[in-house]
Structure 1
Amino acid sequence: ILSDLSASADSKVVVLTVNSLGNAQTYLDVIQSNVDLFRGIIPAISHYSQNTVLLVASHPVEVMTYVSWKLSAFPKSRVIGVGANLDTERFQYILTNLLKAEVLAKDAWIIGEHGEDKVPSWTSCNLVANQTEAMAARNSREKVANRAMEILKGKGQRSWSVGLSVADLTDSILKDKRKVHSVSTLAKGCCNINSEVFLSLPCILGTNGVIEMVKLEEDPLVQEKLQSSAGSIHDLQQQLKL
């Protein structure tokens, strides 16, 4: 389809998996090569499928989702990166099946930057009687989460598992499932982030992309990590030629 983008006409979802195979020497060169590819692809896709949802799986996913958003001029809701959807599914599986912490798993998410800087977070908190119990509950949860993260980081990412994750996201969009996924979305305005960067956050997905961002439990350490990731991603984006 790359040689004839008119074949994508009137698509409801367009999945972008292309990555440069050039001989770039530095990390910035590799990303710029991907940007150059997208400069030739995104405007054509936007022309042929003006109401589509762009689902970006190219790396680095946060930056390439931002690039897709800028080049397409689509609303932010219709440009999504695969983000931490796969990591979240694995994290929830580890909590439920390996660590037997099913109560924690249903509200657990991996958010932030894809890769080593991802962080666990929660969409709700069980209410307890007093501050001492609250602190004990938080400490217990953090121990379980840390163990789950250790297991998660020990697992690689097979191409087929990434493909299943992309299929899962596409299914939620096409069937308007209103299901929550941790995907790369515009994070400006969240957690005191003021720059135009995309980070993985739990979002409800439907036929028009992101319907709503799900509110996370407030955690200063998590917010600090998100702000740090946003800063490094923004600095990298400033060096790219769009």
Structure 2
Amino acid sequence: MRTKITIVGAGFVGSTLAQRLAERDYADVVMYDIVPNMPQGKALDMLQAGPVLGYDSLIVGTNDYADTANSDLVVITSGFPRKPGMSRDDLLRKNQEIVTQVVQEIIKYSPNCMLIVVTNPLDAMAQLAYHVSGFPRNRVVGMAGVLDTARFRTFIAQELNVSVRDVQAYVLGGHGDTMVPLARMCTVAGVPISQLLPAERIEQIIQRTRDGGAEIVNLLGTGSAYFAPSAAVLQMIDSIVLDKKMIMPCSAYLQGEYGIQNLFVGVPVKLGANGVEQIIELELTEDERALLQKSAAAVQELVKVMGI
């Protein structure tokens, strides 16, 4: 049987992800949204692209959670959209109610699924989904570090005029202003960027990475990024569904790793058929560890506000 993947929220991120998944042709896709007829229309449009692009994926749009039953993987993208001048933290109260309801409905119909959380503020919403679902920690993961790392790699590749494939990097911590790009571990074809760029320029690129989402929000005027976020989720799904066991930075529930207890924070993890199969502990410098702790504290503050 084909893998069944549900995407909750058929907006820009959700529908772009659905199209990317359809073109992978290894899963059937359900798009759920509260807007009547909208997910059905998008699904029909995608189905009709199948004969041209050569995929046989079944794509269903729905306003009924019953159609999501027995999903193997559920991606939560629904939530209040981020607007210019709005921080991710401003979204907390608005999206807490939405994500709580979504998770309650999803686990009713798919009690054995894995959850990938995309809704912002990302780490807090992943913590909320974990809390509401009661799932083991390997079955709940947040998409953040893959996207933040992609932005970091993009800016470095542009700066050095090299292929993005040759740039390797990690961005840890919460998805927001306190994220921790590990410049010390960033390499271009194996060469540390400290040998290729002055420290001042590296710091400017790090800051642009931290502001990556806001930069796009301000340019668009309405809405936020969706091409890169959907691509980042797709890479995570590839690794899970195809059991690739790729190591990538994701928001995972830590129980002592990196000195952080009972909190979702972005760290390198191994993603495979069982979800988060291993949390990779990097050797951090004192400064890097301090920045990660600061980032974790910012996430903890949001969790405290939510009362979970």
Q: Give TM-score, length-normalised by structure 1.
A: 0.80
Once the 2 structures are TM-superposed, how far is the Cα of residue 93 of structure 1 from its aligned partner? 3.9
**Structure 1 residues 104 and 185 mapped into 2: Cα distance closer, same or farther (>3 Å)?**
same
Q: What pairs with 1:83-122 in structure 2 (closer than 5 Å)? A: 83-96=144-157, 98-99=159-160, 105-106=167-168, 108-121=169-182
Unaligned runs of 5+ in 1: 127-136
| Residues 16-38 of structure 1, C-alpha deviations (whole Å, 9 max, x = no match) | 011136xxx99877422312122
**Structure 1 residues 73 and 125 mapped into 2: Cα distance closer, same or farther (>3 Å)?**
same
Identity of aligned residues (%): 26
Amino acid at match of 1:216: L
| Residues 112-138 of structure 1, C-alpha deviations (whole Å, 9 max, x = no match) | 011221112279799xxxxxxxxxx89
C-alpha RMSD of matched pairs (Å): 3.3
Once the 2 structures are TM-superposed, how far is the Cα of residue 191 of structure 1 from its aligned partner? 2.1
* Partner residue, 1:12: 72
Answer whether contact 1:113 1:200 (CA < 8 A) is retained.
Answer: yes
Once the 2 structures are TM-superposed, how far is the Cα of residue 11 of structure 1 from its aligned partner? 1.2
2:99 is the counterpart of 1:38: yes
Q: Distance in 1 between matches of 2:103 and 2:164?
A: 41
| Residues 178-225 of structure 1, C-alpha deviations (whole Å, 9 max, x = no match) | 11121111133122223x221111111112211112231321111111
Aligned match of 1:146 in 200, 203, 214?
Answer: 203
Q: Distance in 1 between matches of 2:260 and 2:75?
A: 27
Amino acid at match of 1:16: I
2:236 is the counterpart of 1:179: no
Q: Distance in 1 between matches of 2:208 and 2:80?
A: 31
Answer whether contact 1:205 1:211 (CA < 8 A) is retained.
Answer: yes
Answer whether contact 2:269 2:279 (CA < 8 A) is retained.
Answer: yes
Q: What pairs with 1:64-75 in structure 2 (closer than 5 Å)? A: 64-75=125-136
Q: Distance in 1 between matches of 2:281 and 2:89?
A: 33
Answer whether contact 1:95 1:101 (CA < 8 A) is retained.
Answer: no
**Structure 1 residues 168 and 161 mapped into 2: Cα distance closer, same or farther (>3 Å)?**
same
Higher RCO (CA < 8 A, seq sep 6+): 1
Match of 1:163, SS state, is helix
2:267 is the counterpart of 1:201: yes
**Structure 1 residues 102 and 140 mapped into 2: Cα distance closer, same or farther (>3 Å)?**
farther
Match of 2:293, SS state, is helix
Answer whether contact 1:125 1:217 (CA < 8 A) is retained.
Answer: no
Answer whether contact 1:15 1:57 (CA < 8 A) is retained.
Answer: yes
Match of 2:271, SS state, is strand
Answer whether contact 1:123 1:216 (CA < 8 A) is retained.
Answer: no
2:235 is the counterpart of 1:168: yes
* Partner residue, 1:188: 255
Figure out how many residues of one structure are paired with residues of the other and give that number.
Answer: 228
Q: Distance in 1 between matches of 2:256 and 2:182?
A: 18
Match of 1:50, SS state, is coil
Answer whether contact 2:252 2:267 (CA < 8 A) is retained.
Answer: yes
Amino acid at match of 2:282: L
Q: Distance in 2 between matches of 1:79 and 1:123?
A: 29
Q: Distance in 2 between matches of 1:237 and 1:154?
A: 22
* Partner residue, 2:50: none
**Structure 1 residues 149 and 124 mapped into 2: Cα distance closer, same or farther (>3 Å)?**
closer
